[in-house]
Amino acid sequence: MKPAVLSLLLMIFFLVGCSTADPSQDTASLTYDTGADPDAWALIHAGEFLNGLHEHETMIEYDYEVMVNTVTNAQFADYLNEALKTGSVEIVGDEIVGFYQGDEFHGGRHEEKITEGDWLHVPLNESGLRIESVDGSFIALPGYENHPMVHVTWFGAKEYCEFNEWRLPTEVEWEKAARGTDNRPFPWGDDIGPENANYYSSHDVFEKAFGKAGDTTPVGLYNGGSYDGFETVDSPSPYGLYDMAGNVWQWTGDVYEGQHYRYMRGGSKANYAYNLRIWTRNNATPEYNSPSVGFRCVSDPIGS
Amino acid sequence: MRSLRLTYLFQSTKGLVLLAIGLVTFVTFFYGMLSGPMAEFGFSEIFIKATGMQLIPAEREGRIVILYHAIANAIVAINVYFITGSVPMRDYFRSMINGIITVGYITVMVFGLLFAYFGHSFIYHGIYLFGLSLVFFAGVLLAVALWPWKKEVHVKDPAYSHTKSGLDLERVAFFVMAVAMLGSATFGAVTGSFWGNGHETFLAEDLIREPEKTALQLSIIGHLHIMLTLVGISVALVIGRWFDFKGALHKIAMPFMIFGTIIITIGAWSVVLTEYAHYIIYAGSVLVLLAGLILVIFAWRKLIRTGLEEKGIEKGSFGDSIRALLRDPLRFGSTWQMVFMNFNVSFIGIFVAVKLDEIFRIWPLRDERVILTGHWHVLAGIIATIMILYYADLAGLKGRARKVFGWTVIIFSDIAFMSATIFEMKRLFVSEAEQQPIVNWTMILIDIGIAIVLITLAILLIWRLADFFKKDGRWSEELADEGLDKPPPPPPPLTAPLYPNDTEQEVQS
């Protein structure tokens, strides 16, 4: 091979291999107020909806409320401070752990035992975690207050919801909240583009700043606003929920017989767009945590 | 009036392979723009608008299934051409099989892709199914043509693997592969017949952690695995004929190949019945991999021996042997890729199986899924490169062009495959938060590797296309070599011997 060709290939190789700033080291370079209310909830009425890729008619026989946005770093930090005081969670080494009563074991193929005891909620030394302990109190990293809480395990997400007398959504609750009663593939409609959601290679402001790995976007960013020239389209679900596709996978609460996996829905910033279709499922062990996994809670309607 | 060019393109082995490889390259190139890096660069939107494709998100899985079939049927057809071109059989069988499978795979490709990507006319779907049926029927004819128990096709040279009665075990291996493929195709067809009537479209990689799978889902999982395996076995057998594989190693390898094929196929079919099917598959795989290894040993020894003979060296040094081994990248590459496959596919597969619960089932489903799809594409890609190297020899590449083509395909495809393997296993080395540099490096190497292989292949095809429009190009010589430059004689009676002057010769083993 000629030296010029080899040099060109090597140059491309090195250029592409280079990444821009590491978001984990740069906590406040991009701060946007999306106007989202982290405490807002939406009411979902009882009724049928079309479940899954193959649109099976599924009935949910009760009303329920769902958080409009995923739980933010600021909300989770506040919760931790409260929960540590009450003793429902504790810090052991560099981990936040809490009690879980365990799963019934059915001996399913590849099923692992989830026993009664303390389980990991949040690892405190993970790159990508956006909360920190300052003077014995947890706070969100500056600029990340309104980003979704990540690196939280299923146990941690469950405990957050239950501490507040809520719960994690079941998969069907989550899906109905995302889809409404028609057969749309995405919460806002039939097609997806970079203006709708945070997904891999969607060229959002954070990808422009940090390279293709991007970062989580503040909750409710895709609301029709413009952020440093990045134009979004208002992309709520039929019930007004934001980020039901992309940004972070969201834990759901189901525990299925014969398996220890917990399921996540919605796709994330680390996935190509097709993974953001409403029916796409992901799963992992309940201790799994990553910079692309968060959650939101559901509750019974007020007064029910 | 009889067109010699059309005769070349639709009747000669080299013309048929050229046409099929051209179509597969065309489909791979354009449909590759719909996903991955080409989509990231924005090519997919341009392509979709320019072609008027209708890509409904809910139909992605179905589209992919049909795209796989559009390409896979062409690959099967190419293998059939290789077989009809190199295994003795009656001319009318050769003509019928090649003709029917050509109409079949082109019908599958055209109408399958029209149905999947350009609206859902069920007329297209019906014609697509008709195409699949033609390919299947051509397979039935191939099995009949390969029937090894006729005396006229018994081995004439005792150096080839055979039974005491003279049964040609290499022919048996081809026959078993063909019959296994027909049965395995049926597993897909039966499930397909339940489509919309109890069976729902799915991609196998999406079901890996489902604790309960339906019989129809298991049938498809068995089908897709065994079909690719059998294509691999078919290619290995064809490469064996290319090297004139014979002698003691041939006698060991062919029984391994025959029993390995039978056992793997039974294992894949029994996936529907038992979760222990994997153990049967492992047993068959060991035999087939051993047969492949023996073929590689034979091929490399032969390359070294003939290379040294060409240079007049009686007993060469280690360096002489290496130079002799590497002097023809097409022949060396076709067998090197079989060895390389173990590093990228077999060993990785074994490692994942052994450490499944300990490592890979700790990862989220989407990361485990990346291993499966990567693994699958790498295996298919390696088989494709072996076929490309073999075709380059058929196409008459010689001299410097042969060396440049061969080494370019080997080096850049292997860079792409190795990078894909690192990509799929990246979570072993880095966390999600720190993975982007490794993602960037591996993706660019995959893209560069595949792009250069495709460009190199395109240059070969353009060269052959330019030749095709010359009045007396290579194509006319190749046509004459296959005896197709004259009008065909009337078909012989069915009882006519394959080897008229040789029917009484018995094997002296």
Residue B59 lies in a domain: yes
Q: Do B431 and A126 touch (CB under 8 A)?
A: yes
Average pLDDT of the segment spanning A184-198 = 96
Residue B52 lies in a domain: yes
Q: Which residues contact A214 (CB under 8 A, 6 or more apart)?
A: A23, A198, A200, A202, A204, A206, A207, A269
Residue A150 lies in a domain: yes
Residue A71's identity, in one-letter code, is: V
Residue B383's identity, in one-letter code, is: I
Touching check for A9 and chain B: CB below 8 Å? Answer: yes
Q: How many domains does chain A have?
A: 1
pLDDT of residue B505: 45
Residue B287's identity, in one-letter code, is: L
pLDDT of residue A69: 98
pLDDT of residue B282: 93
Tokens standing for residue A103: 């799963």
* Cβ–Cβ < 8 Å for B35, B507: no
β-sheet bridge partners, residue B302:
none
The distance from CA A217 to its chain's CA centroid, rounded to whole angstroms, is: 11
B490 DSSP 8-state letter:
P
Q: Which residues contact B23 (CB under 8 A, 6 or more apart)?
A: B74, B106, B109
The band of A194, judged by pLDDT with boundaries at 50, 70 and 90, is very high
* Cβ–Cβ < 8 Å for A104, A97: no
Average pLDDT of the segment spanning A117-133 = 95
Residue B344 lies in a domain: no
B465-489 CB burial, b ≥16 within 10 A, e <16: eebbeeeebbbbebbeebebeeeee
* Cβ–Cβ < 8 Å for B363, B429: no
Q: Do B364 and A183 touch (CB under 8 A)?
A: no
pLDDT of residue B29: 86
Residue B40 lies in a domain: yes
Query: Tokens 């690192």 sit at which residue?
Result: B422
151-210 of A, contacting B, C-beta below 8 A: 183, 185-186, 190-192, 201
Give the integer Cα–Cα distance in Å for A199 and A222.
12
Q: Do B444 and A17 touch (CB under 8 A)?
A: yes
What residues make up the domain containing A260? Answer: 71-164+185-297
* Cβ–Cβ < 8 Å for B263, B208: no
pLDDT of residue B506: 45
Q: What is the pLDDT of residues A56-65, one digit of tens each?
A: 999 999 999 9
β-sheet bridge partners, residue B199:
B195
* Helix, strand, coil shares, percent, chain A, to 5: 20, 20, 60
Q: Chain B closest CA to A85's CA: distance in Å?
A: 31
pLDDT of residue B54: 87
**Burial group, residue B233, by CB count within 10 angstroms (0-12, 13-18, 19+):** buried
**Helices and strands of chain A, counted as H and E runs:** 5, 16
Q: Chain A closest CA to B441's CA: distance in Å?
A: 5
Touching check for B45 and chain A: CB below 8 Å? Answer: no
Q: Do A17 and B57 touch (CB under 8 A)?
A: no
B207 DSSP 8-state letter:
S
Which of B124, B146, B168 corresponds to the end of one domain? B146
Q: Is 0.95 surpassed by the pTM of this model?
A: no
In three-state secondary structure terms, A113 is coil
Residue B118's identity, in one-letter code, is: F
Q: Do A16 and B211 touch (CB under 8 A)?
A: no
Average pLDDT of the segment spanning A85-110 = 95
Q: Smallest Cα–Cα separation from A30: which of A151, A242, A205, A237?
A: A205
Give the integer Cα–Cα distance in Å for A122 and B162.
66
Touching check for A277 and chain B: CB below 8 Å? Answer: yes
Residue among B57, B275, B433 minimizing CB distance to A277: B57
Give the integer Cα–Cα distance in Å for B491 and A174.
68
Residue B123's identity, in one-letter code, is: I
Residue B357 lies in a domain: no
* Cβ–Cβ < 8 Å for A124, A130: no
Q: What is the pLDDT of residues B88-126, one digit of tens each?
A: 999 899 999 999 999 999 999 999 999 999 988 999 999
Average pLDDT of the segment spanning A162-190 = 97
Minimum CA–CA partner of B36 in chain A: A272
In three-state secondary structure terms, B15 is helix
Q: Quick check: ipTM above 0.90?
A: no
Tokens standing for residue A51: 């479940």
pLDDT of residue B493: 66
B130 DSSP 8-state letter:
H
Query: Tokens 């909300």 sit at which residue?
Result: A75
The distance from CA B103 to its chain's CA centroid, rounded to whole angstroms, is: 19
What residues make up the domain containing B428? Answer: 362-470
Q: Chain A closest CA to B422's CA: distance in Å?
A: 14
Q: How many domains does chain B have?
A: 2
Give the integer Cα–Cα distance in Å for A209 and B280.
52
Residue among A127, A282, A292 minimizing CB distance to B365: A282
**Burial group, residue B459, by CB count within 10 angstroms (0-12, 13-18, 19+):** middle
Minimum CA–CA partner of B201 in chain A: A54
114-173 of B, contacting A, C-beta below 8 A: none
Minimum CA–CA partner of A9 in chain B: B448
* Strands A47-51 and A56-60, bridge-based pairing: antiparallel
A47: left (phi over 0), alpha (psi -120 to 50) or beta: left
Touching check for A4 and chain B: CB below 8 Å? Answer: no
Q: Chain B closest CA to A255's CA: distance in Å?
A: 13
Helices B215-242 and B365-394: angle between axes, nearest 10 degrees? 30
Residue B87 lies in a domain: yes
Residue B326 lies in a domain: no
Touching check for A141 and chain B: CB below 8 Å? Answer: no
Q: Sheet containing A262-265: give its strands across.
A: A281-284, A262-265, A249-251, A293-294
B308-347 CB burial, b ≥16 within 10 A, e <16: beeeeeeebeeeebebbbbbbbbbbbbbbbbebbeebbee
Q: How many CB pairs under 8 A join A and B?
A: 105
Q: Smallest Cα–Cα separation from A242: which of A12, A86, A70, A98?
A: A70
Residue A209 lies in a domain: yes
Query: Tokens 């599924």 sit at which residue?
Result: A58
Q: Please provide residue A90's backbone torsions phi and psi, each rounded to the nearest 5 degrees.
A: -145, 160
Flag the least confident range among A15-29, A263-277, B481-495.
Answer: A15-29
B130-147 CB burial, b ≥16 within 10 A, e <16: ebbebbbbbbebbbebbe
Query: Tokens 């989770």 sit at which residue?
Result: A76
Residue among B356, B431, B440 minimizing CB distance to A16: B440
Q: Do A282 and B443 touch (CB under 8 A)?
A: no
pLDDT of residue B20: 96
N residues, chain A: 304
Q: Smallest Cα–Cα separation from B340: which of B405, B447, B416, B285?
A: B416
Which residues in chain A have Cβ-Cβ distances shorter than 8 Å to B359? Answer: none
pLDDT of residue B508: 43
Q: Sheet containing A64-67: give its strands across.
A: A41-44, A64-67, A298-299
A221 DSSP 8-state letter:
-
Within 13 Å of residue B278, how many CA atoms lie on the same side as its CB?
6
In three-state secondary structure terms, A44 is strand
pLDDT of residue A20: 47
Residue among A109, A274, A292 minimizing CB distance to B60: A274
Q: Do A128 and B433 touch (CB under 8 A)?
A: yes
- Portion of chain A with pLDDT greater than 90, in percent: 81
pLDDT of residue B176: 98
Tokens standing for residue A177: 């909240």
Q: Chain B closest CA to A275's CA: distance in Å?
A: 9
Strands (E), chain A: 41-44, 47-51, 56-60, 64-67, 89-92, 95-100, 117-123, 131-134, 137-140, 226-227, 230-231, 249-251, 262-265, 281-284, 293-294, 298-299
Q: Do A212 and B439 touch (CB under 8 A)?
A: yes
* Cβ–Cβ < 8 Å for A73, A130: yes
Residue A54 lies in a domain: no
Give the integer Cα–Cα distance in Å for A73 and B326.
60
Tokens standing for residue A85: 């005081």
Q: Please provide residue A264's backbone torsions phi and psi, each rounded to the nearest 5 degrees.
A: -125, 150
Residue among B275, B356, B365 minimizing CB distance to A283: B365
pLDDT of residue A26: 46
* Cβ–Cβ < 8 Å for B308, B302: no
Tokens standing for residue B434: 């720190």
Touching check for B366 and chain A: CB below 8 Å? Answer: yes
* Cβ–Cβ < 8 Å for B379, B228: yes
Minimum CA–CA partner of B452 in chain A: A9
Touching check for A284 and chain B: CB below 8 Å? Answer: yes
Q: Sheet containing A89-92: give its strands across.
A: A89-92, A95-100, A117-123
Give the integer Cα–Cα distance in Å for B282 and B292.
15
Q: Please provide residue B273's backbone torsions phi and psi, each rounded to the nearest 5 degrees.
A: -100, -35
Q: pLDDT tens digits for chain B (509 residues)?
A: 458 888 888 889 999 999 999 999 999 888 888 887 778 888 888 889 999 998 999 999 999 999 999 999 999 999 999 999 999 999 899 999 999 999 999 999 999 999 999 988 999 999 999 999 999 999 999 999 999 999 999 999 999 999 999 999 999 999 999 999 999 999 999 999 998 888 899 999 999 888 889 999 999 999 999 999 999 999 999 999 999 999 999 999 999 999 999 999 999 999 999 989 999 999 999 999 999 999 999 999 999 999 999 999 988 899 999 999 999 999 999 999 999 999 889 899 889 988 888 888 889 998 999 999 999 999 999 999 999 999 999 999 999 999 999 999 999 999 999 999 999 999 998 988 888 899 999 999 999 999 999 999 999 999 999 999 888 888 888 888 888 877 766 666 666 666 555 444 444 43
Distance, first Cα to last Cα, chain B? 51
Q: Which residues contact B301 (CB under 8 A, 6 or more apart)?
A: none
Give the integer Cα–Cα distance in Å for B89 and B81.
12
Which of B146, B177, B197 corresponds to the end of one domain? B146
pLDDT of residue A19: 47
Residue B26's identity, in one-letter code, is: F
pLDDT of residue A169: 98
A225 DSSP 8-state letter:
-
Which residues in chain A have Cβ-Cβ distances shorter than 8 Å to B445? Answer: 13
